Amino acid sequence: MTPTARFGERLAAAMAAHGPLCAGIDPHAPLLAAWGLSDDAAGVERFGRTVVEALAGNVACVKPQAAFFERHGSRGVAALERVVADARAAGLLTIVDAKRGDIGSTMAAYADAFVGDSPLAGDAVTVSPYLGFGSLRPVLDLAAANGRGVFVLALTSNAEGAGVQHALGHDGRSVARAVAESAARENSGASPFGDVGLVVGATVGSAVEDLGIDLDAVNGPLLAPGVGAQGATAQDLQRVFGHGRRLVLASSSREVLQTGPDVTALRDAARRSADAVGVALAR
């Protein structure tokens, strides 16, 4: 079903209502075991649907990691479809963390799968721009036509990412800065913000400042993994995002998920995380 409002508008409303937190749905093998679930398609489905049940109406959105479902083959993909459907029925925004990236007709096919009329399509998808930002055009255009969003990898928190993302192009700009400025053009004039977000790790330290990136000018949501168990602090959020803090959607997985499978415990952990992030970003 095609949304009736732009993704940026819907996400801004959800963040205002529930706080700037996106809870991951990451059913990896050790966590499934801790929850007493089988490491198979049935286990990941039960995991994902329990998280949706617990967090609908309590967080701005959830982010199922597609790989943890896909590793179980067609039944795992079907489980992801049911998790996305549950979230949609509950009015909970979903970012499908698929990190797809390719060119031409292949990227168009990924667009159909994740932002088109497909049971895999949530409210937004993560994508990789490292075949060139222009390679994302099929997914950007179809997402816009369908009221969905796109989160583009820009500054990731893994150490290896810097070798690509900090590299300078022929014009002297870093790759990450060029990605951010391309996203800003997509979001120009949008209010309260646009539909093309960036993934910027909350643990990237001074990279944003060092590379001359103006995150506030992106005018799109900034999905910030690294909050909670990965160690990002309130000071990190303030240092990394600066005046762009209004755009931050902090992502937390382990800190919330480790409290399951009890629905009440999951809900309470998510509320604590959302409140803590909200306070940190408001400073």
Active site residue ranges: 99
CA R_g for the chain: 18
> Which tokens go with 59?
């967080």
* Long-range contacts of residues 158-166, Cβ cutoff 8 Å, at least 24 apart: 158/201, 162/207, 164/130, 166/207, 166/211
Helices (H) and strands (E) in the chain, counts: 14, 8
Residues 6+ apart with CB under 8 A from 171: none
Residue 265 CB coordination number (10 Å):
14
Cis bond before residue 20 (omega within 30° of 0): no
What does the alpha-carbon distance between residue 129 and residue 133 come to, in Å, rounded to a whole number?
A: 5
> Which tokens go with 1?
């079903």
| Count of alpha carbons within 13 angstroms of residue 199, beta-carbon side | 25
> Which tokens go with 264?
């009440």
